Chain A
């Protein structure tokens, strides 16, 4: 039973959260989202580029490693990107206001959410 909407809703309730989304990294398109970030589509595409570049780098190195998560600290916000273990071409994305949020807590919550997610 798909629980995407509830999961994203739980993420958006975190202190400082701006927007949460489920993104398909093969196309860069948003499958589902919560929150009110006007630039969500755009930043989702930006992070898709990031995930693709990281996967390509891992491939070039011949590494068997899988991406657990990627945290990007920007000037005014944190981005948390977490590919799903069950389907690594899809990732959870959470954007947070840097001043109001606890990155470590958010990272933990995103990990928890990803484990419970059913598409």
Chain B
């Protein structure tokens, strides 16, 4: 083989390779942008229903197959959409709030309770018969509130802190909805009443019912 033929052979091979490279031109990218518009509303609905989230996630593999040939930025955006949507909605779920409530030292059990019925809207932790304890706490809160009303007072209860031999308990009505309260129970030896009280107040801003 002559040097020239080897050269041209190499050049020919390079020319053959070029069409196989992905096409990075704008028109392909904008077609993916159009597809994103279909995708994003489903992702926004994700926090409202778990089903919607799984739908959004199901869409990702389908998009991913076609995305292999697209440019890297377009491939990243649809995958990110489900992760972005919950943050855009900005509402921690009741379970997350309860976990946060449970995060003080010595925390045993926490609950969000409706004082009118004594029933629990959500709870986390263990070591206490929380349903019974919450019913008792509702009675306590109603007793105190009833007295205030009966005397023509207009005071609201911010919180009730109960120290027992082995436990501390916080009953904290929500400022925006005083018939609902957060109820925290902690081990007395390990927990700080003040810390538990702080956690209860902190959760006020997060709880959305």
Contact = CB atoms under 8 A, between A and B. Distances in A.
A46 B151 contact: yes
A65 B77 CA distance: 57
Nearest to B147: A46
B132 A60 contact: yes
A58 to B, nearest CB: 7
A61 interface: yes
B158 A57 contact: no
B143 A61 contact: no
Contact of B140 (A50, A73, A76): A50
A71 B161 contact: yes
Nearest to B163: A68
A52 B151 CA distance: 18
Interface of A: 39, 42-43, 45-47, 49-50, 52-54, 56-58, 60-61, 63-77, 104
B169 to A, nearest CB: 9
Interface residues of B, number: 29
20 contacts: A39-B151, A42-B147, A46-B144, A46-B147, A47-B144, A47-B147, A49-B144, A50-B140, A50-B143, A53-B136, A53-B140, A60-B132, A60-B136, A68-B163, A72-B144, A72-B159, A74-B156, A74-B158, A75-B154, A77-B155
Nearest to A76: B155
A118 B136 CA distance: 32
Contacts of A72: 144, 157, 159-161
B162 interface: yes
Nearest to B164: A65
A46 B151 CA distance: 9
Given A61-B129, A74-B158, A75-B158, A69 B163 contact: yes
Nearest to B145: A46
Considering the complex of A and B, which 4 residue pairs feature the smallest CB-CB distances, nearest first?
Answer: A57-B136, A46-B147, A73-B158, A68-B163
Contacts of B156: 74-75
A68 B164 CA distance: 5
Interface in B148-201: 148, 151, 154-167, 194
B161 A70 contact: yes
A69 B169 CA distance: 11
A68 B133 CA distance: 17
Contacts of B154: 75
A33 to B, nearest CB: 17
Contact of A70 (B135, B163, B166, B167): B163
A50 B164 contact: no
B146 interface: yes
Nearest to B134: A57
Given A43-B151, A66-B164, 15 more contacts: A46-B151, A47-B147, A49-B143, A49-B146, A50-B143, A50-B160, A57-B133, A61-B136, A64-B165, A65-B165, A68-B164, A69-B163, A70-B160, A71-B160, A71-B161
